[in-house]
Amino acid sequence: MRISHGEVHGAGVVDRVLFRISSVAAEIGIGDPTKHFDYLLPGLQADPANFLAPGPETLRALKALGLTMTDAAEPPPQAGGGVGDSDIPAGYTYFGQFVDHDITFDEGSAGLSQLADDALLPLADLAALRNSRSALLDLDSVYAGAPRDGERLLVGAVTSLGNPAPPTARPAGKGDRNDLPRKPPSPETPGTDREALIGDPRNDENVIIAQLHTAFLKAHNTQVDRGEDFVGAQRTMRRLYQAVVLHDFLRRICDPATYEDVLANGPRIWRPASADHLFMPAEFAAAGYRFGHSMIRTEYDFNLNFNPARRSKATLDFLFVFTALNGQLGGEEIGVEFETLPENWIIDWDRFLDIAAVPAQRARAIDTLLTHFLFKLRNTFGKPEGDGDPNPEVVDLAPKLAVRNLLRGYLFRLPTGQAVARAFGVAPLAGETLRLALPEAQRVAAVPFLDATPLWFYVLAEAGAAGGQHLGPVGSRIVAETFWNLIRYSADSILDPGQPHAPAQLSEIIALAAEQD
């Protein structure tokens, strides 16, 4: 099954994903996978002053603001980072995306034609929205519907190219089993042609996240090789995953003071009484956790074949082509297609995480600027998003992720950044700080929102004002408190009382996977 980046998922797609999840829910210990969205700060909803003024003028201003959020051409990636980079290793951009796919699947909140409508109004409430994932950190994106061989998870074989010289070389120390398990080619049914047999099909969206999902499959198998049965290996992987999110990922992306407060004292704002009161916060899903879009690079130092030193480069275009979800594992751009991932596209994790002596390349700074690639999104078959739609407004809007994010936040009736800051007891950013969040030539677009700022833009501006190295206090509290609660009520939770656990790093999962090579 193919789902394009940023696509709003219609009923047919959602039903197939839900079937994949629910068919094994009892077997792997996952409860009802259908959760709802709600507000982290419901008390703000009663006062119109806490929101953008609805109407065409605001919609025009949001579209103008989104169009200005384009980063300048970035320098090639380099070890340890360069101009405009954060200090966060680049692999965490895609770990963040992996986590997102594990906890959220927005079922049909708004089609592009609705977002493009000049008469678009905010939703009166979120009752009609469904989150089709389990909204918990239980790795259902890995385990739901994953094909098995006894206690082990199946891992797909790469395609051998038969030439050990770059750019067709297999990275050193890598075995055959380094792709997602796939269906065979089926040109007559393009929707399932080489479909990845995984719990969440979006994890075959680009090569980096596909390789990360493959690493989780292999890490599970290493636990089995160490003597655990399927359930034991699954429990170990869940707890390791939660420890990586809590002690590694959040520590890197959050404001240190806010992170340490939540880690030591638990949530201060959102404190559900039990799992029955859990939901997916709209402020998190539609704003706070979308900070990762600004961390995406246009080009990566991928492996010995595709890097800045070679003519063959790992641009985002190619990273999307070499999947079955957003490409055809090759295709028109290179003149050949493959049944599985070609061996020269196996990732070198040393270049994405600080594993080796040489520091890894870095993610881009967290700020209000996104790579130009995210303003020309392509659909499943390589055409611009919205291509062929009879509505020219949809054709114009569909490829531009920043504009879509802003309009979705408006649709969800998210409170402004200033309203959330005040609710958190944080002094709101000054209007001049928000204006300066954009390059000089683009600042006029921010003017309509200096006193009432879309929450997603505010979170990014707050991070940028702190140097782009991590989220600010508002973004950090939204993200940290949400994850603390999702972990607390997950299966095999490391936050269960009386369940001691050790902090963990993402590199530990990669090391477990490497034992399979």
CB 347 within 8 A of CB 207: yes
The 3-state DSSP class for residue 314 equals strand
Confidence class for position 219, pLDDT limits 50, 70, 90: very high
Tens digits of per-residue pLDDT, 316-339?
988 988 998 877 898 766 788 999
Quote the pLDDT of residue 392.
Answer: 87
Confidence class for position 107, pLDDT limits 50, 70, 90: low
Least confident window among 18-32, 248-262, 317-331, 437-451: 18-32
Confidence class for position 167, pLDDT limits 50, 70, 90: very high
Confidence class for position 26, pLDDT limits 50, 70, 90: very low
- In this prediction, residues 11-23 reach a mean pLDDT of 43
Strands 330-331, 336-337: pairing is antiparallel
Tens digits of per-residue pLDDT, 411-433?
999 999 999 999 999 999 999 99
Quote the pLDDT of residue 325.
Answer: 82
Confidence class for position 445, pLDDT limits 50, 70, 90: very high
Quote the pLDDT of residue 29.
Answer: 46
Confidence class for position 129, pLDDT limits 50, 70, 90: confident
With 0.75 as the threshold, say if the pTM is over it. yes
- In this prediction, residues 172-185 reach a mean pLDDT of 96
The two three-digit tokens of residue 100, written as one number: 């997102």
Closest CA to 246 of 5, 480, 67: 480
Question: Does residue 373 carry a pLDDT above 60?
Answer: yes
Q: What are phi and psi of 159, to 5 degrees?
A: -90, 125
Amino acid at 30: I
**Residue tagged 């078959």 (tokens):** 381
In the 8-state DSSP scheme, what is residue 148? E
Confidence class for position 391, pLDDT limits 50, 70, 90: confident
H helix runs in 43-121, sequence order = 56-67, 91-103, 112-115
Quote the pLDDT of residue 110.
Answer: 64
Quote the pLDDT of residue 381.
Answer: 60
User: Could you tell me what percent of the chain has a pLDDT over 70?
Assistant: 91
- In this prediction, residues 431-453 reach a mean pLDDT of 95
Give CATH for domain 11-125+132-157+166-183+206-308+336-514: 1.10.640
CB 384 within 8 A of CB 377: yes
Confidence class for position 23, pLDDT limits 50, 70, 90: very low
Quote the pLDDT of residue 476.
Answer: 98
In the 8-state DSSP scheme, what is residue 502? -
Rounded CA-CA distance 306/308 in Å is 7
The two three-digit tokens of residue 299, written as one number: 């080009």
Peptide bond into 167 cis (omega under 30): yes
Quote the pLDDT of residue 28.
Answer: 43
Maximum average pLDDT range among 119-123, 224-228, 328-332:
224-228
Least confident window among 111-120, 226-235, 506-515: 111-120
